[in-house]
């Protein structure tokens, strides 16, 4: 589904963020990307989202070279990818319900679809009772569960989660990982970056380890080795 072919990324002449990255991520996989700070995790995510372009090599989403897309087609491609970030990126002036409804409106969904789907997804992340709360009235874990609900509402094929548990305590981290596992079990591909050994161990799936911009391990059985 996602293919990196000998990809390198240099932001400036003398800083190589990624070097010689080749990997494939198949539909339905749950892949964790681990590595120390500066290893290149966020750069890899930005290349998948086409927020940055490669200096060398190609990145394909299915049969499409995503860095050759015109902006219209890129917008369409990004609708197939849901994103979750460490800092949630929720709209502070909208309630939990409205945050999700807004994402559906942006994707052109009807009022009927919104009324039917928003309660369903809030229930999935156990936030139905907080539909009318603003982000400032939610805990960190609740905010991240809301961000996940928003990420999945338009049924993307992939969820990209960049350090989604970075701001959370262990209990909330556990809950967020359980929700991501549930979403993966329902068929969505997940690509997650993390520093957290406990997260990797509790997922128990494929782990790609980056070191100084290179892949140094690609383990099917999900052990944290750095």
- Interface stretch with ligand ADP, choices 38-46, 59-67, 74-82, 180-188 (CB under 6 A): 38-46
Site residues for ligand ADP, window 43-82 (CB under 6 A)? 43
40: which DSSP letter?
S
Stretch that binds ligand ADP, among 32-40, 79-87, 99-107, 134-142 (CB under 6 A): 32-40
Residues in contact with 67: Cβ distance below 8 Å, sequence separation at least 6, in sequence order: 50, 53, 54, 58, 59
Per rule CB under 6 A, is residue 164 in the interface with ligand ADP? no
Task: Give the residue with the Cβ less far from ligand ADP, 21 or 124.
Answer: 21
Minimum distance of ligand ADP from residue 22's CB (angstroms) = 17
The string of DSSP codes covering 66-135 is GGG--HHHHHHHHHTEEEEETT----TTS-HHHHHHHHHHHTT--HHHHHHHHHHHHHHTT-GGGTT--G
Task: Tell me the C-alpha distance between 35 and 17, whole Å.
Answer: 12
Q: Using CB under 6 A, which of 39, 159, 180, 215 touches ligand ADP?
A: 39
Q: Return the SS3 of 202.
A: helix
List the one residue from 2, 17, 34, 103 that touches ligand ADP (CB under 6 A).
17
- Cβ of residue 92: shortest distance to ligand ADP, in angstroms? 25
32 binds ligand ADP (CB under 6 A): no
């Amino acid at each position: 589904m996602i293919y990196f072919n000998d990809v390198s990324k240099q932001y400036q002449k003398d800083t190589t963020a990624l070097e010689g990255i080749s990997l494939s991520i198949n539909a339905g996989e749950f892949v964790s990307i681990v590595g120390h700070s500066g290893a290149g995790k966020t750069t890899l995510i930005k290349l998948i989202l086409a927020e940055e372009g490669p200096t060398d090599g190609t990145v394909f989403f299915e049969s499409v070279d995503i860095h050759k897309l015109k902006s219209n087609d890129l917008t369409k491609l990004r609708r197939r990818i849901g994103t979750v970030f460490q800092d949630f990126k929720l709209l502070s002036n909208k309630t939990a319900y409205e945050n999700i409804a807004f994402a559906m409106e942006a994707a052109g969904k009807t009022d009927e679809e919104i009324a039917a789907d928003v309660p369903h997804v809030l229930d999935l992340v156990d936030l139905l009772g907080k539909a009318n709360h603003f982000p400032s009235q939610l805990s960190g874990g609740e905010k991240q569960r809301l961000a996940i609900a928003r990420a999945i509402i338009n049924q993307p094929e992939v969820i990209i989660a960049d350090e989604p548990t970075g701001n959370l305590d262990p209990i909330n981290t556990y809950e967020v990982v359980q929700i991501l596992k549930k979403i993966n079990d329902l068929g969505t591909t997940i690509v997650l970056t993390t520093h957290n050994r406990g997260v990797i161990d509790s997922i128990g799936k494929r782990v790609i380890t980056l070191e100084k911009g290179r892949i140094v391990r690609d383990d099917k059985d999900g052990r944290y080795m750095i």
